[in-house]
Amino acid sequence: MEPAIAVAIGNRNLTKASQVLMGIVTGITADAHLHDLELKMLSTWLTANEEVASTWPGSAIARHLQDIMADGVVTEDERAHFLSELQRIIGADFAETGSVSPEVAGLPFDTSCELEVRDSTLCFTGTFVYGTRAACEKITTAAGGICTSTVSRKVAYLVVGTHISPDWVSTSYGRKIQSAMDLQRQGHPIAILSEQRWLDAMRAI
């Protein structure tokens, strides 16, 4: 099998598995309570699907779950905190919305870093309120930034458009977000920013 084909198949399988995980999380949070059997089932599933557990958002879920189960006792505070984290990740609170259909999955946006556009490399992904991706790149370049269409170690900021699909994990731009998360885990200081953060920085220039 050609390497490119093997990679494509692997990515497609990972996407499907990530969607299954989101379905599981949506189901177990639907009653706004995490039962011990549900936690054990989720832990068993993540152990059996190591690739999903090493890729965001599975990695975030696995880390939280490992922390609360480390001592063998899950307190009510830990249970409540983990529930809120899962609801944040899937972007839906069934108790409030009455629906188990997830909204936009919580994204790992960096809300604290300073955005220095000049001489920095930025990558844009998704659909933007401001306009087309080309329009976003044009004003970024005019402000002294460098734009690229590929996430790599040269990229300082990945900017995610506001109009992101609820099933972003299965989209082409979801791949860029996951690539940025992988680089972060490897120690590369790439920041994932919302369109609003980028726009605020552009207006300040």
Is the pLDDT confidence value at 58 over 90?
A: no
pLDDT-based confidence at residue 64 (cuts at 50, 70, 90)? confident
pLDDT digits (tens, 9 = 90+) for 98-144: 434 334 455 678 878 889 999 999 999 988 878 888 989 999 999 99
Report how far residue 58's alpha carbon sits from residue 51's, in angstroms, rounded to the nearest whole number. Answer: 9
Model's pTM, two decimal places?
Answer: 0.52
3-state secondary structure of 124: strand
| Sequence-ordered alpha helix ranges (H) in 29-131 | 36-48, 50-53, 58-69, 76-90, 94-97
